[in-house]
Structure 1
Amino acid sequence: MSTTPLPPLILLDGGLGTTLADRYNCIFDHSTPLWSSHLLLSGEGSETLRDVQGAFAEKGADVVLSATYQASFEGCRASGVGDEREAGVCMRRGMEIARVAAEKREGGGKVALSLGAYGATMVPGQEYSGAYDAEHSSVEQLREWHFRRLEAFMPGGEDEVEKKERRACWDSVDYVAFETLPRVDEVLAVRQVMEKVSRIVGGEKVVEFWIACVFPGEGNDLPDGSSIKQVVGAMLGKGKGARPMGVGINCTRVGKVEGLVVEFEREIGELIEREGGEWPSLVVYPDGTRGEVYDTTTKEWVKRGGAEESLIPWDEETFGIVSRCQERRLWKSIFVGGCCKTTPDDIGKLRKRIDEL
């Protein structure tokens, strides 16, 4: 019997945008390029976000992700907020709301600053394809874009009011979550961004971050065609930027996740054998879909022809995957939660399984 302790399970929240659409009748289309972040532009929308994110926390989520996944200066301009200072205020409001929601967790919770791929801010969205425009098709271009957005949440500002607000925002960040990345050059870009961030604010506060990629196709390659070996090398290889505390998978069908995790484990083990270092945390939050796929053009969920639906409840299937990961005792810790179509009730059921374990 192994004496290595089981890595702890840390529960994330679920699908914010789909819960807003399915349970609160929010409509997201081309008139709302910020998607769920559009609610940050109004007081009424902010209250709705507090309700939904608070529901996930009340169901037991240890970590609440901010409603900033698709937030960007470009999206704010397209939504009528042309002033960049005002846009920054709106984006930072997402962290404030998430922090209030996290406090509804018994004993309090943590907050992750959610930052989606550049493709998530395109119209139509391209985070599932990785087909970016010519101005965002290199490590350098993506690094500059990601840093400019992240900078809106960091200390700085033109006057004392803005400096105080931005300082309070950054102090409330427990993790930075780079999510749904479809390209290895974007993985490298965000590592370089976080290396730059650590130079700027490292003496004041070191913020841990994770990188989660999306695997929407039938195989186990990224949308840009990169293999898991290439993905792991970009995520954790030496000399490529700041090292994330966690790596993994999000916004991917739950039926694919276990095979992906096993392949991640093999490649990370080989990388550590070559380069040294420690195992990171695993971050895995699959979709709660049952045969539906998201049409980025119509912004609707549609049934895919011939798609098989699992008869196993989402919480049971997801829990089985991470509990088997635990038994292998490789990862430092395991962050598990849900992405699209997972509800507060799903997270509550997963919480119960974790607690019973």
Structure 2
Amino acid sequence: MTSETSPDLAAALAAGTLVLDGGLSNQLETAGHDLGDALWSARLLAERPEAVTEAHLAYFTAGADVVITASYQATFEGFARRGIGRERAAALIASGVDLARDAVRRARAQGVARPLWVAASAGPYGAMLADGSEYRGRYGLTAGELERFHRPRLEVLAA
């Protein structure tokens, strides 16, 4: 998790409670975006990135200290199913962090002075399957296979 004003999350938590956004998908759907898609809110990274920034900004101006990136369903495999290559998929996943950071800058321009945080979201393997298995966690994969699935995406989000 990163902040545009304070890199020390432990100190921020020790100082008190941090308010998390109310769920990015909730705000996007309230704004009229249809998320009925295997990529869920990650689809908007390609199709409507400004909507993602606006949703984050709405949470910051409403009092949230932390917003979560639009990357829960953003996987290389999910984007590949849409014909999106690995390089473009990596750029889209990274853009989730960039859009949230842009919302921080916009909130600052609107006078929000408290520390604001961006947390990367990485859904479980089952979320990519889009079959409800994320709620059971029984994928029939080894720990190594799960690591090979998650590591590239996490490296992009952390870069």
User: 3-state DSSP class of the match of 2:22?
Assistant: coil
Q: Is the 8 A contact 1:34 1:79 kept in 2?
A: no
**CA apart distance, 1:125:** 3.4
Query: 1:28 maps to what in 2?
Result: 35
In the alignment, structure 1 residue 114 sits paired with structure 2 residue 121: yes
Q: 2:70 aligns with which of 67, 70, 75?
A: 67
Query: 1:78 maps to what in 2?
Result: 81
In the alignment, structure 1 residue 17 sits paired with structure 2 residue 25: yes
Query: 1:138 maps to what in 2?
Result: 142
Q: Distance in 1 between matches of 2:59 and 2:154?
A: 25
**CA apart distance, 1:148:** 1.9
Q: 1:95 aligns with which of 88, 97, 101?
A: 97
User: 3-state DSSP class of the match of 1:64?
Assistant: strand
- Show structure 1 runs of 5+ residues with no match: 1-5, 155-169, 171-357
User: 3-state DSSP class of the match of 1:11?
Assistant: coil
User: 3-state DSSP class of the match of 1:39?
Assistant: helix
Identity of aligned residues (%): 35
Runs of 4+ that moved beyond 6 A = none
Q: Distance in 1 between matches of 2:97 and 2:40?
A: 16
Q: What is the Cα-based RMSD across aligned positions, in Å?
A: 1.8
Which is richer in helix? 2
User: 3-state DSSP class of the match of 1:102?
Assistant: helix
94-103 or 118-127: bigger deviation:
118-127
User: 3-state DSSP class of the match of 2:135?
Assistant: coil
Q: Return the index of the structure with the highest Cα Rg.
A: 1
Give TM-score scaled by structure 1 length.
Answer: 0.37
**CA apart distance, 1:118:** 1.3
User: 3-state DSSP class of the match of 1:116?
Assistant: coil
Letter in 1 for 2:71: T
Judged with a 3 Å threshold, the aligned counterparts in structure 2 of structure 1 residues 145 and 93 are, in CA distance, closer, same or farther, namely same
User: 3-state DSSP class of the match of 2:52?
Assistant: helix
Give TM-score scaled by structure 2 length.
Answer: 0.80
User: 3-state DSSP class of the match of 2:41?
Assistant: helix
The structure whose RCO (Cα within 8 Å, separation 6+) is larger is 2
Q: Distance in 1 between matches of 2:122 and 2:154?
A: 8
Q: Distance in 1 between matches of 2:72 and 2:128?
A: 9
Q: Distance in 1 between matches of 2:122 and 2:33?
A: 21
Q: Deviations over 1:81-128 (max 9, x none)?
A: 1x1111111111110100111231611512111111111111223221
Q: Distance in 2 between matches of 1:17 and 1:90?
A: 17
Q: Deviations over 1:226-245 (max 9, x none)?
A: xxxxxxxxxxxxxxxxxxxx
Write the mapping of 1:242-261 to structure 2, written as runs, cut at 5 A. none
Q: 1:129 aligns with which of 121, 129, 136?
A: 136
Q: Distance in 1 between matches of 2:104 and 2:81?
A: 30
